[in-house]
Amino acid sequence: MGKIMDLADRLMREKTDNVVVQLFRYFVVSGLSLVIDFCTLFAFTSLLHIHYLVSSVLSYSIGLVINYFISVRWVFNTRKYADRRKEFALFVIIGLLGLGINTLTMWLFTSVLALYYLLARVISAAIGYTWKYVARRLIIFSK
C-alpha cells in the first residue's frame, strides 16, 4: 500500500519535469477544461441560442484561461520565461492556434459531415489536446 501512496503522491503533488507525470497531469487539467468548455458550449448554444461557432469560441476561451492557471501551478515545473505576461501571451498564442484547429474541426465535423456539435467537440478536443501539450511543453515549459 505504501508504494501505491508514493506513486499517487508523485502523480498528484510533487513538482516534476517527468514527461509521463506531466502528460498525466495535463490530461487531467485538459479534461477539467474540456468539461467546463463542454458545459459552457452547451449552455451558450442550447440555452442561450448563440450560434455554435460563436459559442465554441467563447467556451474555448474560458477553458483556455482555466487551463493556464492550473497548468502553471500543477503541471509544468520548469518555466522558460520569468516574465509571466510573456509566458501567458505565448500560452494564449498556442491556444489561439488550437482555437483555429478547434473551429475548423468543429465546422468540418458539424457542417460538412453532419455530426452532432457536441460529438464534434469531443473529436476536436482530442486533436487539439495533442497539439497544445507538445507546443506548450517545447515552447514555454522546458529549458
Return the sign of the alpha-carbon dihedral for residues 13, 17, 19, 22. positive
Tally the domains of the chain.
Answer: 1
Average pLDDT, the chain: 87
Q: What is the mean pLDDT of residues 135-142?
A: 89
How far is 127 from 97, CA to CA, in rounded Å?
12
**pLDDT tens digits along 116-129:** 988 998 888 888 88
Q: Is residue 7 part of a domain?
A: no
- Domain of residue 107 covers 18-139
Kindly report the pTM of this predicted structure. 0.73
Q: What is the mean pLDDT of residues 41-50?
A: 96
Q: Is residue 127 part of a domain?
A: yes
Q: Is residue 8 part of a domain?
A: no
Q: Is residue 4 part of a domain?
A: no
Q: Is residue 2 part of a domain?
A: no
Q: Is residue 44 part of a domain?
A: yes
Helical packing angle, 84-107 and 117-139, nearest 10°: 150
In the chain, % of residues over pLDDT 70? 99
Q: Which residue has the cell 457542417?
A: 111
Q: Which residue has the cell 498528484?
A: 12
How far is 69 from 36, CA to CA, in rounded Å?
14
Q: Is residue 80 part of a domain?
A: yes
Q: Is residue 5 part of a domain?
A: no
